[in-house]
Chains A and B, each alone.
Chain A
């Protein structure tokens, strides 16, 4: 998933859970059954999980542009020279 996709996944997850929670509560209250509320909610959590957790393609619409390996070889990484001070060394 790319960055935009992650943000989208999180938003979808939060909104879906809240909407389905309200739906489940209203359904349970109208039907007069606590069990119905919990069942509807459990189903909706599973559905939300199926939509937001796996790495679907629509989450990857703004892919990151990694540098091509052949291009990277032309510009070698700068070497970091380490100057170590040895104690008691005479120069």
Chain B
């Protein structure tokens, strides 16, 4: 600590090390937060159902998404990314997951919302026959005629 530069170097190194420790502790403090989000998705309508030229099935839906995700936001949260995915089973694959819609929530104020939207991304199944005799969507309430 005998010169200006030596003291400056020591101070900055120590300060940055402590800053790193502080950031690690803030990440750990996130574990104290138990999130309790709630979400509900309602399929309002199945707009159309077509077979693409390559033989893949495609479907277009309109859904109501309502959610309350405010408890997910802690002081260490920058943004929350949410998406709606359709999971289904075909004869070829036992599990298919297709993302239909997503959004980024930048702040806590926007975390409680309700949106009426059609699927953002095309819902295409690659193996040809997506739906057999019935459409089973778990957790969603499906209009009567498609059940």
Residues of A within 8 A of B (CB): 1, 6-7, 9-10, 13-14, 17-18, 21, 24-25, 28-29, 31-34, 37-38, 41, 45, 48-49, 52-55
CB neighbours of B8 from chain A (8 A): 49, 53
By secondary structure, the B interface counts as helix
A34-B26, A41-B19 as given contacts; A52 in contact with B76, CB under 8 Å? no
Chain B minimum-CB-distance residue to A48: B11
Question: Which of A1, A25, A29, A49 contacts B11 (CB under 8 A)?
Answer: A49
Check A34–B76 contact: CB distance below 8 A: yes
Check B26–A28 contact: CB distance below 8 A: yes
How far is A27 from B22 in the complex, measured between Cα atoms in Å? 12
B2 interface hit (Cβ, 8 Å): yes
Chain B contributes a number of interface residues (CB within 8 A of A) equal to: 18
How far is A14 from B25 in the complex, measured between Cα atoms in Å? 19
Question: Which of B14, B19, B29 contacts A14 (CB under 8 A)?
Answer: B14
Check B29–A29 contact: CB distance below 8 A: yes
A6-B2, A34-B76 as given contacts; A52 in contact with B11, CB under 8 Å? yes
Check B26–A55 contact: CB distance below 8 A: no
Check B1–A9 contact: CB distance below 8 A: yes
